[in-house]
Amino acid sequence: MRILVISYHHNDENSVGSLRTRSMERLLPEHGFEVYILTSGVHKEQAKFFEKTFSIKRYKYSGEWKIIEYVNRMWSYFSQIVSCYNKQSYWVSTAICHLEEILKISKPDVVFCTYPPVGALKLGLEISDRYSLPLVADFRDAFLEEPLEPG
């Protein structure tokens, strides 16, 4: 069975949010599962594919454009708080643009996504709806009762 794991924080070794998916990536193959990871990364390319990992660029701008990206992120965050604006993150919209390629390579039987961030859930729902794939969602801690972010 092939599993596509969507975890925004997977590449961040210092993130507690990556512990579960890193364990899945390491241990599930021992039990007959083929694990592919869709995550975020800090790199120049929009999408970077290596081995069984698909890394989508986190932010649109870098270098001298960082201040613009910071302002865009703050605007998006505060707008979501007051619920007047529900813009998809750059990471989600870029991942959606590369879905055909990701799914052609990974050929998943099931999609597994983790929260936070909510973008990973939105992406998992999009893939599940668009390609009729079963979706397993992992909510860490008590985020079901008190969400970490709006949306």
> Of 150, 90, 89, 101, whose CA–CA distance to 127 is shortest?
101
Phi and psi torsions of 137, nearest 5°: -110, 135
pLDDT score of 85: 44
Give the CA distances from residue 138 to residues 55, 100, 131, in Å, rounded to whole numbers and listed in that order. 20, 24, 20
Name the one residue in this structure whose structure tokens are 């890193």: 22
Per-residue pLDDT of 2-31, as tens digits, reads 999 999 888 777 776 677 888 888 989 999
138 beta partners = 114
Give the CA distances from residue 137 to residues 7, 115, 123, in Å, rounded to whole numbers and listed in that order. 11, 8, 11
Indicate the pLDDT class of residue 48, thresholds 50, 70 and 90. Answer: confident
9 touches 41 (CB < 8 A): no
ω into 29 cis (within 30 of 0): no
The reported pTM is 0.76
Find all residues with CB under 8 Å of 134, minimum gap 6, and list them: 109, 110, 111, 128
